[in-house]
Amino acid sequence: MIRKYGWLVVFAISAFLFDALLMQWIELMSTETDKCRNMNSVNPLKLINCADLD
């Protein structure tokens, strides 16, 4: 049973790891500037560029 479906388990784990790495890479590429939270604004959850706070 394990020998029969072992490739499926390996495929599922490798697909999960590839997806996680791909999402991390896309997130890293899309955030080229540092983002900060402006705690003095009306909406502190909105991320803005850190250079705007200086």
Tell me the pLDDT band of 27, cut-offs 50, 70 and 90: confident
Average confidence (pLDDT) over 22-33:
79
pTM: 0.50
How crowded is the C-beta side of 18, counted as CA atoms within 13 Å? Answer: 6
Contact 50, 34 (CB under 8 A): yes
State the pLDDT at residue 40: 73
CA 12 to chain centroid: 20
Q: What is the pLDDT of residues 3-21, one digit of tens each?
A: 788 999 999 999 999 999 9
State the pLDDT at residue 46: 77
Phi and psi at residue 40, to the nearest 5° = -90, -5
Average confidence (pLDDT) over 19-24:
93
Count of structural domains within the chain: 1
Q: Choose among 23, 47, 44: nearest CA to 34.
A: 47
- Give the C-alpha separation, 20 to 32, whole Å: 19
Average confidence (pLDDT) over 9-37:
86
Q: Which domain holds residue 27?
A: 2-53
